Structure 1
Amino acid sequence: MGQTLLRFGVVLGLGLGMAAAGSHTGTSWQGIPVFALCALLAFTIQWLAFLPAWRLQTEAFYDLTGALTYLSVTWLAVALTPDQNALGLLLAGCISLWALRLGSFLFLRIRADGKDSRFDRIKPYAGRFLFTWTLQGLWVVITAGCALAAITSGRAAEPGGLAITGFALWLFGFVVEVVADQQKRRFRHTNGEERFISTGLWAYSRHPNYFGEILLWLGIALMALPTLAGWQWATLISPLFVFLLLTRVSGIPLLERKAEQRWGQNPDWQAYKARTPALVPRLRARNTVPRA
């Protein structure tokens, strides 16, 4: 119990810290910083969604709730910030397109698969299950933090060279993520779960979808940067947070362990692993295993 409360305290403390930093010098509504309202909404949506999820013992709409949260907080920020500029609308559009695509993709995937095995040992315990929803609220606040700070800053900034570079990076990362997800989904549909993919973008990186995810959030940070001031600069932790979470915590480490359990004795897997980087693509794929 004590450890669980400590984890909740850390997550909520980080959320409060991000809300305070993102609100600095930003616009307010009815005397309340708009960024802080967005952060409160992000956590509130998660806690409300947890109630039916716990009652039904399902994670079926976990990812969909996350996507809807991104959309909700982004457009709340736009709606409550007067005289919204082109850069703010560009940021809102980029986050919205990403959330709609990824949220629908993950929701359809879990409907097809029936469940997400990551939740098997979590759902039976109310505290642990609630913590995963709370953690998703923090994920939204931190990853979208620099965009929300830019949107609610109230400072006019037309898209310049840095914003154009950031948008190009976001677009490239978005395309990489979409293509990688679709390639893997088609491969699994044809070959099942017992074989690993080593074709397409997966011939150049073992996790190209995560590479695209990191790039697009780096692009968002570059687009947001010109409008930030004071403590709002702290929200630029967003791409670093995504990178650390995907490469050190829940993304690549989890999938690599599962792959080793499944294919660790398979020489094709060992050869693929030896020649293919975990994240940053290698421009040339050598001796690709065509049958994956």
Structure 2
Amino acid sequence: MTGLWLVSGSTAALAVLAMALTAVAARRAGRVSVVDTTWGIALTVTAVLAAVLGALVGDGDHWRSVLLVVLTAIWGLRLSWHVGSRSGGAGEDPRYADLLARGPGGALRKVWLPQGAAIWLVSLPLQVAAVTSARGPATPALVGVGCAVWLAGVAFEAIGDAQLAAYKRDPDRGPVMDRGLWRYTRHPNYFGDACVWWGIWLVAASAWPGVLTVVSPLAMTWFLAFVTGAKLLEETMMKRPGYPEYAARTSMFVPLPPKR
């Protein structure tokens, strides 16, 4: 238990530091949306910190911590690179502009504190897996299923991003992106993100009490679908010609056959 408290406290401090550095970068860039680039990097560093501390003070299976570092790093660094390269030189993201314009409170209350807390909360499976030892015959099966779900999520996210980039380069594109994965869900990248963290949770759940960290993928899915992800973006997209019709026939989050 002492090891878990150390890992948990250290990762919380890391989340605070990440948001402080991001706030400085945001002031220089003139936009708070740089936090989207921080997200993947911060969770990757959190995975590394948890694994190192777990090796020093915990009794966890170190191979599992290393696996979680690899899974988190592949997802997080790809995401941060994609978001950073796409938004470089751009203005404020309309999602954050609308968020900051609503009601009282500034970036500290609306962005930095919630995002920092989310980083710590989402990383709970990484923290617990670093200091607990897997036992029982179900472990290989859960790890394998978790890796498969993670792989599906990464593929879904990366393919969706690539299809959107190709659409934006097409001079003959229509008013709304409704090709490929986007024909079945309006937000394949957000859905892929959610799958990644359900996969990571399954790997952590192969040891007690990792299963209790189910709050992590639940929170991630909630953020992606109903808070800073799809729902916030939908408010802007609904103003575009053709998007309401696209939304009427296409699932918002979970991929489903389009309605006629």
TM-score above 0.5, yes or no:
yes
Report the RMSD for the aligned CA atoms in angstroms. Answer: 2.8
Q: Is it true that 1:94 corresponds to 2:74 in the alignment?
A: no
1:260 is aligned, of 238, 248, 252, to 238
Shift of 1:64: 2.5
1:85–1:156 CA contact under 8 A, matched in 2: no
Q: Which residue of 1 aligns with 2:127?
A: 148
C-alpha distance after superposition, 1:148-184 (max 9, x if no partner)? 211233x245951011111101101110011001111
Shift of 1:57: 2.8
2:85 is aligned, of 86, 90, 108, to 108
Shift of 1:270: 4.5
1:40 is aligned, of 13, 18, 26, to 13
C-alpha distance after superposition, 1:33-57 (max 9, x if no partner)? 1222112111122123313423553
Structure 1: 5+ residue stretches without partners: 1-24, 288-292
Percent of pairs with identical residues: 28
Q: Is it true that 1:176 corresponds to 2:156 in the alignment?
A: yes
1:120 counterpart letter in structure 2: A
How far apart in 2 are the matches of 1:37 and 1:79?
Answer: 11
C-alpha distance after superposition, 1:195-229 (max 9, x if no partner)? 21000101111111122111111111111012232
Q: Secondary structure at the match of 1:167?
A: helix
Structure 2: 5+ residue stretches without partners: none
How far apart in 2 are the matches of 1:100 and 1:207?
Answer: 20
User: Greater CA deviation, 112-121 or 91-100?
Assistant: 112-121
Q: Is it true that 1:242 corresponds to 2:225 in the alignment?
A: no
- Report the CA distance shift for 1:61/1:256 in structure 2 as closer, same or farther (over 3 A): closer
1:140 counterpart letter in structure 2: I
How far apart in 2 are the matches of 1:172 and 1:274?
Answer: 26
Q: Which residue of 1 aligns with 2:194?
A: 214
How far apart in 1 are the matches of 2:150 and 2:218?
Answer: 15
2:134–2:208 CA contact under 8 A, matched in 1: no
How far apart in 1 are the matches of 2:43 and 2:228?
Answer: 20
1:214–1:239 CA contact under 8 A, matched in 2: yes
Q: Is it true that 1:272 corresponds to 2:246 in the alignment?
A: yes
- Report the CA distance shift for 1:193/1:66 in structure 2 as closer, same or farther (over 3 A): farther
How far apart in 2 are the matches of 1:140 and 1:261?
Answer: 31
How many residues are aligned here?
251
How far apart in 1 are the matches of 2:82 and 2:148?
Answer: 23
Mapping of 1:1-292 within 5 angstroms?
A: 25=1, 27=3, 33-54=6-27, 57-59=30-32, 61-82=34-55, 84-111=61-88, 113-120=90-97, 122=100, 128-131=106-109, 132-153=111-132, 155-156=133-134, 159-191=139-171, 195-229=175-209, 233-263=211-241, 266=242, 269-282=243-256, 284-285=257-258
2:238–2:244 CA contact under 8 A, matched in 1: no
Q: Highest CA radius of gyration, 1 or 2?
A: 1
